[in-house]
Structure 1
């Protein structure tokens, strides 16, 4: 263990390989050779290399160490040593080891790589990305008069010279959970990956006292306005729409929250659909008050309709997800509670039986010994009863935690989204929006993916930051954003799309389809964030990519 610790140091980023060398023509080599042969027999019997994970069940380490010492000290002959480790590979032993290998619910030594990769992919797509946290924090902190500046030559690194006293005052429950807010923060980042190699940098995000203090201040000052509603312009919109932020939750039989999630519900063309809250990043607030059509205003204020749709279309699916997850978790939890406490109760019963035997053997005249044993027995009996009561209580709690119920959906905010003024959109090259052209471009991209043996899945309406998720052998192969042009020219990316391109790197692809209405021509760009140099256009909240820029980055199609 000490040797391994010296090699696999804290903050080690590379996989560490440790080799133990044993000379073949030595006493240790002869013993090890027999042990490896035994393991190979077990591997063939089990039909799995996982036998090497249960080597301790075949020959425990202390026992092997003792055998080696006996051999080196010549306390035993080689024949005796080999006999000790030459265990018979019978069906009973095989069955026991197989059961032990499957009984790893709490902390498995065996990794299901396909499930692990799927979980990582899901987390990658739905996590609260550092870019979103950074953007929110900087805008909020500055809105309170705070000064936060980028550190020179440190992308994603910021400095706060002073935190105002009023912001440092946290509610008691937040301060107890997160600690106090500091007076200054010389170097902070919102991306954990940037912490590697730096000991003087602090990570700020959910759970950090400074971040939680800013969130609390935002909710206090802007919460009423959020619930009242807001208006935004969308440069891609052709009609007025409404977006609600709805929080759905599930609680268990103990009244504790089993899960909560924020959903964005979009109303357009007379129907509801689920969306992503990230869509708000692509919108521009108006500079003056706007006139809202009465029909749109009525829709935005009809909360009952939103709640009813959420109860029918959103909450049941989320409830099923939480129910399945809770069932798996509680199955493991119940198994652990039963095995651990029943083991302790069994050990306690053995001690009580031992004390009973001592009492029977004690002489009647030895009152002091009997009193001591009786006292120990009484303590152990009380401990056993306490363990039994704890087992009963914990199982009852687990049973309560199995009973789940939906919490009423809660509307946290609403936004009316209007098409940007035509003159503003027309003044920016590449902002022309044509549903027919977009449909042709997406179909061309899907046709190409299918021809390459991948399965394209459209996610355009979900506002994920890409249009198509392309699958290969059931695994995500590409996140594809599709841009179409009737003729040729530059293209526009939303802030959400550009953030996802930066975050997903080589897994993110930009497909540009030109001449959509005549002879569609597809161009592919992998990892566009590393190859393009877009110009930020504030008037429409977009990143504009010129034709020469994307053409020089496009790959040659074979």
Structure 2
């Protein structure tokens, strides 16, 4: 079946149904209004005719005017009903394309333009996978040190990992930022900034560099920790802050 055979019939049916409803209302309204006027002038003509037979003067002229008015109204009624009946009939034409939209993925466009940062652009699924690998890599570092750590990233409490030192019971609150190698920026949220400011001695910013590969594993991730070094919060209206990845990376201690 051709495209117009799929598109035209449903559209025609919808338009025709709306038009028939409108035309039916118009026909009823026209009939009611003009028929009322016709009946009025026919009654007037009959009265004038009776007055003329009774010998009342000047009635002939008024009678003729009344009859002309009746004929005029009947003509208007016939013409208007004929026009409305013609409007019932629709003749569909094949659809015409009047415009189009070309959707180009942003990553492809940037790559075609030669943007050097295209290699750092990853889709949502890849981003989630990188973040998961980053948390797993940090958990492995904590376990290697003998600490008891658990993933609390789903709680959105201002940090991603809560790590406990068994001997002292001391807790470390770790924010994990995983990026594919070559990333330019990293974003720290308001909750994470507040956690860093409220717990400066227990807060750790863990940076995880993940290789750009289809076979990602936490075994080949590089982890660096930043201890007790964090810029002051810029104000309560700030929802997040962006930092240069390489600058933070240079501040970190490799684990």
TM-score, normalised to structure 1, is: 0.22
Tell which has more relative contact order, 1 or 2 (C-alpha 8 A, sep 6+): 2
Q: Which has the larger radius of gyration?
A: 2
TM-score, normalised to structure 2, is: 0.43
